[in-house]
Amino acid sequence: MNSNEFLADHELGFNVDKGNLNNFSQKIPQNLTNSQQSPEVIKSDLLKLQEKISSLESRLQPSHQSSQIIYCPKVEIKKTKHSASSSLLKSFEREERELEELERSITSTPSKKSSASLNAVLDRLRTDLLNQRQKNVKLRKSNDGLKKMLNHREDLHAKLAMLQEDHYTLIQSFERSENIRNKQKEMIESLKNEILEYEAAENEKGEQKKPKKKRPIIPKPKTKRLYSCVNYN
């Protein structure tokens, strides 16, 4: 293997590591900077980042030593090695800076703005809760009033049903009394007719049994004749 192939393989390995690092940075959730992130999750993410950095360092150090051992005899190889190692160091420093920025973004304390916004949200929630409690109290009072009205209405309905039953019984008793009265009237009329018929029959029987009375003969009064004295001279 010549020097150019070794450098190509070395740069390819670093690029693979760099790609893995970029993939790892892309897999970091966007909400790690949120002030509500738990400290346990932050600690676990920091441990993962430290393990990744140590694995990158372990991969880069042997290749750097081997490049020093192989390319020392020749001047041209030293130049190429120096340019390649400088580019590798620059890229490694750049990756370290990116990792430090990631660590700072993860371990950053919540800002005053976020705390102020949280306080504002909490105050708004408190006011909403108080308003909801007041509404619940009003609704409870109105429900109690409606329950009382419904109970009173049920009592009135029960009384109305009793009155309707009494009215119905009274109507039935009145109808029965009217029927009895009409029958009594009919009986009285029939009795009157029977009495009249009986009296008429009795009168007829009495007249038939009595003898006929003769009329008394009244004598004529005697009239005196008055003779007038006539003188025939």
Task: Please provide the DSSP assignment of 4-52 as one string.
Answer: HHHHHHHHHHHHHHHHHHHHHHHHS-GGGG-TT--HHHHHHHHHHHHHH
In a domain, 65, yes or no: yes
In a domain, 227, yes or no: no
Mean pLDDT over residues 217-225, rounded? 60
Q: Whole-angstrom Cα distance, residue 72 to residue 70?
A: 6
Structural domains in the chain (count): 1
Mean pLDDT over residues 184-197, rounded? 92
Closest Cα partner for 7 from 76, 56, 99?
A: 76
In a domain, 89, yes or no: yes
In a domain, 179, yes or no: no
In a domain, 48, yes or no: yes
pLDDT at 167 over 90: yes
- The pLDDT tens digits of the residues spanning 122-158 come to 888 888 889 988 999 999 999 899 999 999 999 999 9
pLDDT at 91 over 60: yes
In a domain, 84, yes or no: yes
In a domain, 221, yes or no: no
Which range among 158-162, 172-176, 225-229 shows the weakest confidence by mean pLDDT?
225-229
In a domain, 190, yes or no: no
Closest Cα partner for 60 from 90, 98, 34, 100?
A: 90
Q: What pLDDT does residue 182 have? A: 93
Mean pLDDT over residues 47-60, rounded? 75
Q: Look up the domain containing 55 and give its range.
A: 3-111
Closest Cα partner for 32 from 95, 83, 104?
A: 104
More confident position, 86 or 150: 150
More confident position, 7 or 127: 127
